[in-house]
Each structure stands twice: as C-alpha cells, then as structure tokens.
Amino acid sequence: MKHFFFLVLLLAFSACKQTDSNQTGNTLAMCHDPQSAVAQFASFASDPNFRNMHPDPLATEMAKKGKMVEFPVAGGPNGKAFFVKSRRKTNKYLMLFHEWWGLNDYIKQEAAMWSKELGVHVLAVDLYDGKMATTADEAGKLMQANDAARSLAIISGAAQFAGDKADFRTMGWCFGGGWSLQAALQLKEKAKGCVVYYGMPEQDVNKLKTLSTDVVFIHPEEDKWITAEMASGFESNMKAAGKKVMVYHYPADHAFANPSSPRYNDKAAKEARATVTAYLKGK
C-alpha cells in the first residue's frame, strides 16, 4: 500500500513539472486547475433562459488586419489564434478570449481594434480548436465540451509563441471573461493586467493569492447569472487574497458590450470600453 501511495505522489509531481519541450526561460504553471469556475459557468448552458439571453449573433465585417497562426501545444495538436502584430516594436501582448460562440469575425475585429488602440500585439486565442457556433444551442454544447486542461495548455502554447520576452494583458467576454482570469493565473508574473467582462470569477482565495496583477471586472447590473452577489463575493475574495480588483457596474444586461448581439447597449458599452482602454493603456 505504501508503494501505491508513493507512486501516486510521484505521478502527481511529474505532472506538475511537465512543460513543453520547446519552452525556454521561465516555465508556466501547468498544475493550476480552473475546473470549478469553468464548470460552474458551463452549467449555465443547461438553462433555457440563459440560452435565450443569447440570440443568434449578427453578421460582422471581417477584420482587415491580422492572420491565423498555429503553435505547438503540450500533450495534443497545435493550438490556433488570430494574431495582429503591432506596427510599433514592443514586447507587450494582449491575449483575448472569445465568447461562447468561438473565435468568430467579431472577436477578430476586436483583436485588430485593440492592437491599433493600445499599440500592442494581440493574440485572440481559440479555445474551441477551430469550432464555432451560430446558435445558442451549438454554443452551449461547445462551451460544455471545453476541456480545461487543454485550454490551459493552449494558453501556455500561445505564450511560448509570443516568446520569452513577452508580457501579457488578458481580456475576455462571457465564457472568455472567466478564461481571462484563469489565463492571468496561468501566466503568473508574465500577466500585467486582466479584464473580465461578465465572466465567472475564481472563488478560491488560495488561487487568487498567486495573481501577479490587479483585475478590472465589468458587471452588468441586470445580469441574472453573473450576479451582483458574485461580483461582491469576488471583491471580498480578492481582498482576502491581498489583491486589487476594480468592479464597474453598468445598467445593462449580460452580453451588453457586443455590438453583434441584439442585446447590445451602446451607452454602457462605450463607457465600459473607455474604462478598459484607460486601464490597459496604463499597463
């Protein structure tokens, strides 16, 4: 029996030490487990009211700048991202995370816009491995099928694609909002800023203690899933972890910031974007 427990501990230790063979310099943690927060948000897809909150997205013009790239991912096939290179020489990157629809044209447009606005490189990471949804039912299935371990490996692969000298700001919406925070945890000291648009906050104070950045949390007051109680709980947990979070409340509903959504709220979206822009420009 003692030999059995020793073997289990040895395997766990080996898994924690595993890194991509192509990685150089600082290693990125591969033992962080976001499953609880990710699974909690994914469970919303079983609620017909949540699905009804997401009408089919409107058509979006294709981004005129940027290209799809691939990069090695430990333990699986190559990962993909939409990459927009800054015109300026910089080691700064913004890592974007898509909504539950997947890496569609709207997210690619956001990537191009933020690269121009901030003067940084942007990697819009594909956590669905090329799959996209056009209906809420399809999106719910993709979100619930998302593999947290695979997503963490993709994030590490994207960071390695950027290079050892790169540092990162993360941002995402809805499903991607939660992943923006998980990415900041995964990237450790390489994370310099984090923006969460109505995504599931991490509730484990011990995990939050490992954050190397503050967080901007965009909260719609009418959101029935990412509620005011969740936002308040996140503030309390971040305070307990000794970390700074800035929560901004807007009189709007879930998905209010996406102009391709019929629930887009122009006034609140522009105010939130101004807040986020000022924050990221300071990073």
Query: What is the pLDDT averaged over residues 213-228?
Result: 97
What's the pLDDT at 31? Answer: 41
What's the pLDDT at 33? Answer: 57
Amino acid of residue 137? D
For residue 269, pLDDT over 80 is answered with: yes
Length of the chain: 283
CATH topology of domain 32-281: Rossmann fold (3.40.50)
7 CB-side CA count, 13 A? 4
Cα(134)–Cα(58) distance, integer angstroms: 9
Helix (H) or strand (E) holding 13, with range, is: helix 2-17
Q: What angle (nearest 5°) sits at the alpha carbon of residue 136, between those of residues 131 and 138?
A: 35
Q: Are 136 and 52 in contact (CB under 8 A)?
A: yes
What are the residue boundaries of the structural domains of the chain, listed by start? 32-281
Cα(153)–Cα(83) distance, integer angstroms: 18
Q: Are 104 and 179 in contact (CB under 8 A)?
A: no
Judged by DSSP in three states, 277 sits in helix
High-pLDDT (> 90) share of the chain, %: 76
- Tracing tokens 């816009």 back to the chain, one arrives at 113
Report, in angstroms and rounded to the nearest whole number, the Rg of the chain calculated over CA atoms.
18
* Token pair in block for residue 203: 């509730």
Judged by DSSP in three states, 171 sits in strand
The per-residue pLDDT for range 235-260, each reduced to its tens digit, is 999 999 999 999 999 999 999 999 88
